[in-house]
Homo-oligomer: A and B are copies of this chain.
């Protein structure tokens, strides 16, 4: 099937670009000597997780338990959930996964750790556990090395828990004193630190400098080695995810309307939104729920109803999360259609 035969809006992935991104990150981490754990939240597609493993990743990360269930069902075997798993319903699901794959979870409180311990003990399985450190991102995580030590001392004694070490996000140079002191305290206390997980696409070298045993990266599959935040940095040679839209209206000079809006692209500041491959001079200046409002005043091209434009969305992960399928293309042909199997798995 030709790309031109797809109906629109269609979310496509240029396989050549994606494969270059996968290879570049694998080489980058190999050269640095830092093992890569691929974060699959960026795509939620099991076959892409397998491709990341084939490219040299040591395991994957899933942000939610529902994502991990999808990945384990697809045969992935080493999964980190860098997220507090809270409540007996979720713990039961986690324990079920731990029978089928190597599951590691991050916690930042005794309550969360104890809930997982009780579930694991009741089921007679072990769950690997690490402690999340808030080294400055101000999200989850214990606030100091002594707090980490206090929690670790409790967790290492909990039944059903195989304590492994620590994690942080993102890896930043400023995190070094916190990490170093935590590891020193742990070692003095005989607490294992076989896993020190850093993260963030583009932060691989810093993870290495911090002494991490692995670095979690996800968005590199869509955006190349470095996350790009301004539309000026986006380019077809780096970003494989694109949305093909159709011009549905040319109501007035300088304005066209395309058939994708917030429910196709995801709403995400800043504006202008996205990068048009065929006509980089046009800008999506506004969006309704199902309409994209495009300023064509800088373009010499005279747009016609029915014409197609190919847009690189600003936030590929949020865009893809709206859709049931990702169409893998090479040159002008459809090569594969992947269900976005983890989409909607918020629990």
Contacts and interface: CB of A to CB of B under 8 A. Distances in A.
Please give me the 7 A-B residue pairs with the lowest Cβ-Cβ distance, nearest first.
A84-B248, A140-B249, A111-B305, A7-B89, A63-B290, A324-B344, A86-B248
A260 B112 contact: no
A192 to B, nearest CB: 23
A304 B109 CA distance: 10
A252 to B, nearest CB: 6
B346 A289 contact: no
Interface string A134-151: 100011111100000000
A159 interface: no
Given A252-B143, A305-B84, A263 B321 contact: yes
A300 interface: no
A230 interface: no
A140 to B, nearest CB: 4
Contacts of A289: 41, 63, 317-318
A259 B140 CA distance: 11
A83 B255 contact: no
Contacts of A108: 249, 251
Nearest to A293: B139
Given A86-B259, A134-B251, A246-B87, A140 B7 contact: no
A347 interface: yes
Contacts of A268: 267
A101 interface: no
Interface residues of A, number: 61
Contacts of A317: 289
Interface string A264-286: 10111100000000000000000
A323 interface: yes
Interface of A: 7-10, 41, 63-64, 83-84, 86-87, 89-90, 108-109, 111-112, 115, 134, 138-143, 246-252, 255, 257, 259-260, 262-264, 266-269, 288-291, 293, 304-306, 317-318, 321-324, 343-344, 346-347
A344 B323 contact: yes
A96 to B, nearest CB: 14
Contacts of A262: 318
Given A84-B249, A108-B249, A267 B318 contact: yes
A64 B7 CA distance: 13
A291 B63 CA distance: 10
B250 A109 contact: yes
A109 B305 contact: yes
A321 B318 contact: no
B7 A347 contact: yes
Contact of A321 (B41, B252, B305, B322): B322
Contact of A90 (B7, B140, B322): B7
B257 A140 contact: yes
A61 to B, nearest CB: 12
A264 B63 CA distance: 13
